[in-house]
Structure 1
Amino acid sequence: MSQDSTTAPEAARKLSGRRRREIVAVLLFSGGPIFESSIPLSVFGIDRQDAGVPRYRLLVCAGEDAPLRTTGGLELTAPYGLEALARAGTVVVPAWRSITSPPPSEALEALRRAHEEGARIVGLCTGAFVLAAAGLLDGRPATTHWMYAPTLAKRYPSVHVDPRELFVDDGDVLTSAGTAAGIDLCLHIVRTDHGAEAAGALARRLVVPARRSGGQERYLDRSLPEEIGADPLAEVVAWALEHLHEQFDVETLAARAYMSRRTFDRRFRSLTGSAPLQWLITQRVLQAQRLLETSDYSVDEVAGRCGFRSPVALRGHFRRQLGSSPAAYRAAYRARRPQGGAAERPDRPDRTDHRADRAEIVEQRQPSEPGGPAALRRPHGAAGPGGGFGPGSGGLDAGKPESDAYAPRLPEQGTGRLSGRPTVPGQRDRPVG
């Protein structure tokens, strides 16, 4: 299935007779960032029919009483109020001013009514918090900026938050990651409505890629939400980060927390928005990324220093999260920083990296087998349940059930539609690497 598929998990609601598909309402609030707010205005509010882009009719609506001030202090006046949402076939919430404060109840009720009448509801970046507050994300997959994903998951536990995706299309409710990912989602909407040619023409006008590969993984850092600081799990998390060079699994972390595996999984996800296996693999890949940038260790040595059981496991997870092999990533990084040099053993040629590349070529020539080398070469998001950490994902034992980690719907290709529902909490996963 293509990443542009928009088949909803349930039968799509029929659009109310008073709503029009070509009408897009953008709901603005005071305190919102100007960049996110301008994205849907630019995509849907400018007539580009001369370039082959079908025209939308834009309604800019105030979600609360004026004046509306942006984060930069600009004052905006929206020509419409909440009543205009009654005509829209698509309603976009580009951002919300605070992830800790509730949106206006009148705006939430207008969004619920629009959704009940068949309108497509879109949340860009922190706009997902408004959709969640309206109850429109309950039981659904969703994403937001990776930095806010743990808070979204904790505050709305019925939402299946996946911070890895650039956007999530769940049919009549769509969400995107931060800032530029809003452009990705708006282009996806145009592609869904009018086809790839129209979306490509619009992308050329905006001077942006028609599609971006990969997800948010490459932008993640080691930080965790502040709420975890006083929690007993903070010590376990700190220990894991200090011992990434060792081979340990989630069972080890659960034992250090004096919890059963099921309880540990549940507590970890409630605090971080991620299941422990996915978080641990991401941290190992991030550590590998740093070593590839700052040292001259071979790929084999990097794998060992990051706790992976083999270079094959490292390459599988690295490619899945960052879209390239470790050797290719290092070469690209050094090409961008020719004077950077390696921090350790700079005079030693990294011959093992070349052997790793040859090994990948050999793997690609071998027949595909379930859980075998071919499983490591699927595109980002198409490797296995839970975003590529299932059977055949490089060092994780094939055939065992995976963790409940987000357990989002499987991205079929790159960064689009997710499919499937979360697995049952408490399922066991495999040793990392």
Structure 2
Amino acid sequence: MYLTEKNTIPSVAVVVFNHFSPFHISVPSIVFGRDTLNETFFELKFVAGEQGPILSDIGMEIHTEAQLDFLEYCDIIVVPYWRTIDERPNEKLLNALCRAHARGALVVGLCLGGYVLAYAGLLAGKRAATHWELEQDFSQRFPEVSLDTNALYVEDSGVITSAGTAAGIDCCLYVFRKYYSSTIANRVARRMVVPPYRDGGQAQFIDQPIPVTTSDLRINALMDNIRRNINQKYSLDELADSVMMTRRTFTRKFNRATGMSFGEWLTAERLNLAQDLLESTDLSIEQIVAKTGFSSVLIFRDKFKERYEVTPNRWRKTFHQ
């Protein structure tokens, strides 16, 4: 419980801009607003992050209750989105965020809101999270930030950032728990019909493509044959002989063709098939292990959790059709 010593209600500023996303501003509104539990746990206000009308990307308009000077007094500042990664926010906003953080306010950037915090310099030398599709861009723009490529949200030295879209809910519930008990935060989650805490990170949602074909016809034919017989055991020497190469040449050409070692590729193919079987069938874990070629249930579970940050059973509960 993080409630102030004076036992006052924490104040939350949600900073909004033109071309806002209705979903992204609704997340902190629901979590920190009074409508969810019909009790006031936070004083919530919308703050104009810039001059002029504040219109959404679908034509909705929001009338803000405060200007940037409110950031000088509030306990929590939430930047729920940003309209474009290429645009640097106005300096008045960036300076206000820096001053608020310096005096001890908790500053939160949801999804692209993390870009605003990074442009302000608040993430320099800190760990941060962002949407998995933007990791490369974020790292190139802000090399001084240590990006956690799997986390749903990250807190470092009074600054919190989250991954995309729904991860904003996880992040806001986390902030709620910082100020109040998990029991109350769980009540909010139940009212919203969302889990109070999600297992795993972004890894379970990231599209991780595996090469289907390469420029090497012999490697392509070999990959197709292995996919049809994925549950068999394979050795590098036998595979090299089958394509009339030495083991060393095969290893080099396979890596050049796919960007992966043969072992990495085979494991990825087996895990992809396991994903499909977990989602679309009721096969037991033992049956899936037999069909995918893993040598044991233990090894399968270890490899699956290493890649997706969740167990096979948790994956099935989340994605089973």
Pair in the same fold by TM > 0.5: yes
**Residue 247 (structure 1) shift:** 8.8
Whether the 8 Å contact between 1:124 and 1:177 is mirrored in structure 2 is yes
Q: What residue is the counterpart of 2:240 in the other structure? A: none
Question: Measured at CA, do residues 286 and 71 of structure 1 come closer, stay the same or move farther in structure 2, by a change above 3 Å?
Answer: farther
Aligned position for 2:41: 55
- Residue 174 of structure 2 is matched in structure 1 by 188
1:24 aligned to which of 4, 8, 12: 12
Q: TM-score, normalised by structure 2?
A: 0.72
* From 30, 39, 52, the counterpart of 1:42: 30
**CA distance, structure 1, for counterparts of residue 150 and residue 73 of structure 2:** 34
1:325 alignment partner, one of 301, 312, 315:
312
- Contact kept, 8 Å, 1:48 with 1:55, in 2: the verdict is no
State the AA in 1 paired with 2:310. Answer: G
Q: Deviations over 1:286-334 (max 9, x none)?
A: 4542465579984244246xxxx866433213135253337x8569866
Identity of paired residues, percent?
Answer: 36
Contact 1:165 1:216 in 2 (8 A): yes
Matched residue, 1:151: 137
Q: Which has the higher contact order (CA 8 A, sep 6+)?
A: 1
Residue 231 of structure 2 is matched in structure 1 by none
1:97 to 76, 83, 96: 83
- Which of residues 206, 209, 215 in structure 1 aligns to 2:192? 206
Output the CA distance in 2 between the equivalents of 1:190 and 1:155.
31
Which residue identity lines up with residue 152 of structure 2 in the other structure? Answer: L
Cα deviation, residue 129, structure 1: 0.9
Cα pair 1:166 1:177 within 8 Å, conserved: yes
Distance 1:92 1:290, change over 3 A: same
User: In 2, Cα distance between the equivalents of 1:54 and 1:186?
Assistant: 16
- 2:203 is equivalent to residue 221 of structure 1: no
Counterpart of 2:118?
132
Aligned to 2:156: 170
TM-superposed deviation, 1:23: 1.0
Determine which of 109, 113, 130 is the counterpart of 2:95. Answer: 109
Confirm whether residue 64 of structure 1 aligns to residue 50 of structure 2.
yes
- State the alpha-carbon separation in 2 of the partners of residues 40 and 109 from structure 1: 23
Q: 1:122 aligns to what SS in structure 2?
A: strand
- The answer on whether the counterparts of 2:274 and 2:288 sit within 8 Å (CA) in structure 1 is no
**Mapped contact 1:199–1:210 kept (Cα < 8 A):** yes
Contact persistence 2:110–2:162 (CA under 8 A): yes
Q: Secondary structure at the match of 2:165?
A: coil
Give the distance between the partners of 2:277 and 2:190, measured in 1 at CA. 37
Cα displacement string for residues 381-421 of structure 1 (whole angstroms, at most 9, x for unaligned residues): xxxxxxxxxxxxxxxxxxxxxxxxxxxxxxxxxxxxxxxxx
Deviates more, 1:311-320 or 1:128-137: 311-320
Q: Which residue of 1 aligns with 2:241?
A: none
- SS of the residue corresponding to residue 91 of structure 1 reads strand
Separation (CA, whole Å) in 2 of partners of 1:206 and 1:331: 19
For 2:269 and 2:52, locate their aligned partners in 1 and report how far apart those are by CA, in whole Å: 44
As a proportion of its length, which structure holds more helix? 2
**What is the CA RMSD across the aligned residues, in angstroms?**
4.2
Give the 3 Å change call, closer, same or farther, for CA 332–174 of structure 1 in structure 2: closer
> Residues 291 and 302 of structure 1 are in contact (CA less than 8 Å); yes or no, is this contact kept in structure 2?
no
Give 3-state SS (helix, strand or coil) of 1:88's partner: coil
In 1, Cα distance between equivalents of 2:276 and 2:25: 34
C-alpha contact 2:55 2:62 (8 A) present in aligned 1: yes
The aligned amino acid for 1:313 is I
Deviation track 1:40-76 (CA, whole Å, cap 9, x = no partner) reads 12222326665xx552111211111121121212122
Q: CA deviation at 1:92?
A: 0.3
Q: Distance in 2 between matches of 1:171 and 1:281?
A: 38
In the alignment, structure 1 segments of 5+ residues that lack a partner are: 7-14, 225-233, 258-263, 265-277, 337-433
The verdict on how the C-alpha distance between 1:164 and 1:148 changes in structure 2, with shifts beyond 3 A counting, is: same
Q: Mark the CA change 1:54 to 1:78 in structure 2 (over 3 Å): closer, same or farther.
A: closer
3-state SS, counterpart of residue 31 of structure 2: helix
Give 1:197 shift: 1.7
Q: CA separation of 1:298/1:286 partners in 2, compared to 1, >3 Å: closer, same or farther? A: closer
How far apart are the structure 2 equivalents of 1:247 and 1:25? 60
The 2-side partners of 1:197 and 1:155 are apart by: 39
The residue number in structure 2 matching 1:299 is 289
Structure 2: unaligned runs, 5 residues or longer: 228-233, 237-250
- CA shift, 1:145, in A, is 1.7
Does the C-alpha gap of structure 1 residues 247 and 58 become closer, same or farther in structure 2, counting only changes over 3 Å?
A: farther
1:123 matched residue in structure 2: 109
Distance 1:169 1:139, change over 3 A: same
Q: Which amino acid aligns with 1:302?
A: T
Contact 1:21–1:90 at 8 Å: present in 2 too?
Answer: no
Q: Are the equivalent residues in 2 in contact too, given 1:24–1:90 (CA < 8 A)? A: yes
